[in-house]
Structure 1
């Protein structure tokens, strides 16, 4: 089978677990439209009820930011709000192809305007984003190898085909049965989650001997997630391909200490490098960055929740992504090479009874709420993670970036 068809089938089967008659929305850039079309064709082959392709264009976003002001940037069309509501009410599946071919386009755009546009879009699509985060409908984020991304990862002379060779083992497309390989990997991550839940962790501490000393509280009865999620009808799906993480939602008010970010990332479509944060009583009270400090400040100012943690994820240093030694410039891949934290909204499913809670109830239970969610990679080969239970008993979970439980 052609590698693109095989990849598409993994996304539709292991990713969103598309059922016969289900409708599907695919968000992509202009450069990945061909692959989005292939996904749609394969979806129809599998009995999809309807397929819609939605193009996101950073070039248009840049032009808008350059030419519009104030209230113009706060406009969000009613038809997009209706579309979001319809996707939720009809339980569409949702696939997003990471915009790796246009990641550089907004780097010089006005930070204030990008912030306004991001907030407006988040508000307009709130009903959809809330349903995705509560796993009410199946969703999946993937990336598509292209020439621009290949050059960013492998060098100026690299081709998309060369990038494919790097990604095949990461995506488990080098296996005889990739779908079965993802099923087996999913169960490995689920077993790790069960082990962490059995420990009844009250707090975690991250240290690395190079400045990071971060304490995070974990709400009582928190669920650890990884290897996929379950829909209300019991079907399993996998929000990210690839995925190597196990994660939970920390107590939004119990983060203390200092942490360095170990990998560059995109914040509001702008590259940020060498970031660091200092937390007190759950909030970022100081921050900095070698590159992109201004845009980082704009992100933190979006709402109060942007200054607080919504996720902590543990990733073993032996993952195929980590073993590649590559910086992919895609949060989808880079977050799965390194333990990470996320500023912004937490996952209601991690909180006992969280899927049925209001936002106020979630905050009272310790789960952060926000319009945004961005992962920051804080783990590396020197990272140690210690868990503590209510009695103060300490257990080493990770040593030098590797699980020891």
Structure 2
């Protein structure tokens, strides 16, 4: 009988990136926390006749997705402007070589960058992103493997969180796709989405945009969302986010945005507003939306400060400020230096999402 590591490896290798004979596969690991899962992925790729490069602490480190040892913190803290604007050529060579990417991220402390100079992080982000974007336009999949730190954030033991992780990841993706396809079809034909909830009344234009998500398990595991790139100048109204929102190791709480013609014209936060100030001063495009997403994974119910899980919570939506995906389906035209997903919980009485006036979600439940 296959182990859960073998079952998940099969999903990542065969379903997500479709490794075949002759594929050039890069398996990115933050460290050896996920060695058992990575080993099963590695073995399966080799058996399929693929060429495999095991990249431990490499690319994940360079984009701030590896925190053991404090190396990334020291790089950001000690580097000169010249160093922070020097393109990572080794990372570029790996991405140019690979055509399939299995990214296994292990973060041990979600706040590991909270006291690091945010200007330096922004400068480095602008430097590496054009290289990183090459990978996004190839076959890739991302999963966040449980650690003691992420388990603590989830208010679970490591054993409980690991069980939760595998149950959320090892699902029937064909059945999940059928459910998401219903929402995708509605958004494809829609022109205006309206979100109404406590201290929230927001409209987004989606005319001419195509939704994505029905082909589940291809980029994110666990998966379970339908998403679309809103029209860049058609978002109006206001929205409040109940949960703390995290990006690059920094947390902002009590976030409220006001939009006019697609742009955030006013914003407040009860905690760490200065981080929002940094993000919005870094690039004016960060004041516009790159994505509207709808969480549709019934196995994911709790907010745990892990975006790969949280954006899939059944009965929630999320808005990403900044860069759109460069996809025909799910993509948009906004640029920006970040893609920051923020979760809005709609599982409260009086919460409604409509598409062209027809109710799609009421009180966190889908009416389709």
TM category (shorter chain) comes to 0.7 to 0.9
Of 282, 293, 300, 1:321 maps to 300
Matched, 1:336 2:336: no
SS in 2 for 1:76: coil
Matches for 1:2-401 after TM superposition, within 5 Å: 2-32=3-33, 34=35, 35-55=37-57, 56=61, 57-58=66-67, 59-87=70-98, 92-129=99-136, 131=137, 137-155=138-156, 158=157, 160-172=158-170, 178=171, 181-197=172-188, 200-208=189-197, 210-220=198-208, 222-228=209-215, 238-316=218-296, 319-322=298-301, 326-337=302-313, 338-350=316-328, 367-382=333-348, 383-388=351-356, 394-401=357-364
Alpha-carbon distance between aligned partners in 2 of 1:100 and 1:380, rounded to the nearest angstrom: 28
Structure-1-length-normalised TM-score: 0.80
Is the Cα–Cα contact under 8 Å of residues 267 and 299 in structure 1 kept in the other structure?
no
Structure-2-length-normalised TM-score: 0.88
1:26–1:50 CA distance, 2 compared to 1 (3 A): closer
Q: C-alpha displacement at 1:241, in angstroms?
A: 1.3
Q: C-alpha displacement at 1:308, in angstroms?
A: 0.8
> Which blocks of at least 5 consecutive residues in structure 1 are unaligned?
132-136, 173-177, 230-236, 355-365, 389-393
Alpha-carbon distance between aligned partners in 1 of 2:55 and 2:15, rounded to the nearest angstrom: 20
Figure out how many residues of one structure are paired with residues of the other and give that number. Answer: 353
Alpha-carbon distance between aligned partners in 1 of 2:174 and 2:21, rounded to the nearest angstrom: 20
> Per-residue CA shift, 1:213-258, capped at 9, x if unaligned?
11111132x21211327xxxxxxx6111112211111101111111
Alpha-carbon distance between aligned partners in 1 of 2:77 and 2:186, rounded to the nearest angstrom: 51
Alpha-carbon distance between aligned partners in 2 of 1:13 and 1:251, rounded to the nearest angstrom: 34
Alpha-carbon distance between aligned partners in 1 of 2:105 and 2:280, rounded to the nearest angstrom: 23
Alpha-carbon distance between aligned partners in 2 of 1:12 and 1:125, rounded to the nearest angstrom: 21
Alpha-carbon distance between aligned partners in 1 of 2:27 and 2:109, rounded to the nearest angstrom: 17
Q: C-alpha displacement at 1:292, in angstroms?
A: 3.0
Is the Cα–Cα contact under 8 Å of residues 268 and 295 in structure 1 kept in the other structure?
no
> Per-residue CA shift, 1:243-289, capped at 9, x if unaligned?
22111111011111111123223212212222221111111112222
1:207–1:11 CA distance, 2 compared to 1 (3 A): same
Q: C-alpha displacement at 1:311, in angstroms?
A: 0.9
1:77–1:242 CA distance, 2 compared to 1 (3 A): closer
When the two chains are superposed, the root-mean-square deviation of aligned CA atoms in Å is 2.3
Q: C-alpha displacement at 1:351, in angstroms?
A: 6.1
1:301–1:84 CA distance, 2 compared to 1 (3 A): farther
> Which blocks of at least 5 consecutive residues in structure 2 are unaligned?
none
Is the Cα–Cα contact under 8 Å of residues 262 and 289 in structure 2 kept in the other structure?
yes
